[in-house]
């Protein structure tokens, strides 16, 4: 089986190196040939264009910066589509657009070729060490066919659903990351301005339920994802009180707390529903209503 890899930047360079270490026959391409030097020295072959890779390989990976580059490499002149063989598989590891990957999937199907979206999470260190989460969308049988190769550079490979599902999951993940980053910045700056050492504030966050990952490993699965808010693990009225006191502190020290105030407003709206004695996660139901009465639930088993 011949594997092609296009895009050898910070992420692609590490992932392709692990594919090569996995013993696969690898051909690579990048806009900068020098990016391929370590791979070529380790036994990979070089291709001058994406089309040349597609013509020669059974499975083609791309790791590219934006949807513009994905579209150009997949559908552009002398790109993957023009040269891919029937039965071959194209996997995009980039964080792109769900709509674009669905268009690419439909186009490739005309030639009897398969497409999976498989964005990754774990950063450059994960790319080098093979410690990546890989979120895959597309035909499940094709995914299973490609799983061994994906596991050569990812330790958490999971199937997410139809084409585009992997990309949607990755976009949701990254938005949570940067939403948390915003409120962490607010709380660290307020804590320091209020007179506490930066390390002490940071350690308090890291050592508590946030840093321990309790929300995702226990609290959400036992409450919100089950629609189970009674009895309360931590009552809404107490959570509202705590965040309200933090917002008072922000006003006292002149620290803007936009994300914190939004969280407090959500809890206030939930209190106005009479939910004060229910688990504080009950406030998340308000967003379900705004989204069109979407229910986010997971089977307890």
Final residue in a domain of this structure, among 133, 163, 193: 163
Residue 139 belongs to domain spanning:
2-163
Grouped pLDDT means (10 residues each) for the chain, 301 residues: 96 98 97 97 97 98 97 97 97 97 98 98 97 98 98 98 98 97 98 98 96 94 97 97 98 98 98 98 98 95 73
Question: For residue range 154-184, what is the model confidence (pLDDT) as tens digits?
Answer: 999 999 999 999 999 999 999 999 999 999 9
Q: Tell me the backbone φ, ψ of residue 60, rounded to 5 degrees.
A: -120, 130
Q: What is the pLDDT of residue 226?
A: 97
Of 6, 42, 3, residue with least CA distance to 26: 3
Say whether 111 is catalytic.
no
Q: What is the pLDDT of residue 198?
A: 98
For residues 36 and 232, give the distance between their C-alpha atoms in angstroms, rounded to a whole number: 56
Residues 272 and 148 in one domain: no
The total number of structural domains in the chain stands at 2
Q: Tell me the backbone φ, ψ of residue 253, rounded to 5 degrees.
A: -100, 5
Residues 186 and 277 in one domain: yes
Residue pair 166/119 in contact by the 8 Å Cβ criterion:
yes
Residue pair 96/128 in contact by the 8 Å Cβ criterion:
no
Considering the entire predicted model, what is its pTM? 0.95
Q: Tell me the backbone φ, ψ of residue 288, rounded to 5 degrees.
A: -60, -45
Residue pair 229/279 in contact by the 8 Å Cβ criterion:
yes
Residues 94 and 219 in one domain: no
Rg from Cα positions in the chain: 23
Residues 82 and 110 in one domain: yes
Residue pair 39/27 in contact by the 8 Å Cβ criterion:
no
Final residue in a domain of this structure, among 144, 163, 182: 163
Residues 229 and 262 in one domain: yes
Q: What is the pLDDT of residue 81?
A: 98
Q: What is the largest CA-CA distance in the chain?
A: 67
Tokens of 60: 């083609």
Q: What is the pLDDT of residue 300?
A: 81
Out of 170, 193, 199, 300, the active site residue is: 170
Tell me, yes or no, whether 299 lies in a domain: no
Tokens of 70: 């994905």
Residue pair 20/40 in contact by the 8 Å Cβ criterion:
no
CATH of the domain at 214: 1.10.1040.10
CATH of the domain at 106: 3.40.50.720
């Amino acid at each position: 089986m011949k594997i092609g890899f296009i895009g050898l930047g910070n992420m692609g360079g590490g992932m392709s190196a692990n594919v090569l270490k996995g013993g696969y026959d690898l051909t690579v391409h990048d806009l900068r040939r020098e990016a391929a030097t370590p791979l070529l020295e380790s036994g990979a072959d070089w291709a001058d264009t994406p089309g040349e890779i597609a013509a020669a390989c059974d499975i083609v990976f791309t790791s590219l910066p934006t949807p513009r580059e994905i579209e150009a490499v997949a559908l552009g002149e002398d790109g993957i589509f023009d040269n891919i063989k029937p039965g071959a598989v194209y996997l995009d590891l980039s964080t792109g657009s769900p709509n674009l990957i669905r268009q690419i999937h439909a186009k490739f199907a005309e030639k009897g070729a398969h497409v999976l979206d498989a964005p990754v999470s774990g950063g450059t260190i994960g790319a080098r060490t093979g410690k990546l989460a890989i979120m895959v969308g597309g035909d499940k049988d094709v995914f299973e066919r490609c799983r061994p190769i994906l596991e050569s550079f990812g330790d958490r490979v999971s199937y997410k659903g139809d084409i585009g599902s992997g990309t949607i999951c990755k976009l949701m993940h990254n938005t949570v990351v940067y939403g948390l980053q915003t409120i962490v910045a607010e709380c660290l700056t307020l804590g320091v301005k209020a007179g506490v050492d930066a390390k002490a504030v940071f350690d308090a966050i890291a050592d508590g339920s946030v840093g321990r990952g309790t929300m995702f490993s226990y609290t959400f699965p036992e409450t919100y994802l089950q629609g189970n808010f009674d009895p309360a693990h931590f009552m809404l009225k107490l959570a509202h009180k705590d965040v309200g006191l933090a917002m008072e502190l922000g006003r006292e020290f002149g620290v803007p707390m936009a994300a914190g105030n939004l969280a407090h407003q959500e809890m206030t709206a939930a209190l106005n529903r009479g939910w004060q004695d229910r688990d504080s996660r009950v406030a998340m139901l308000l967003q379900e209503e705004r989204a069109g009465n979407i229910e986010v639930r997971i089977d307890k088993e």
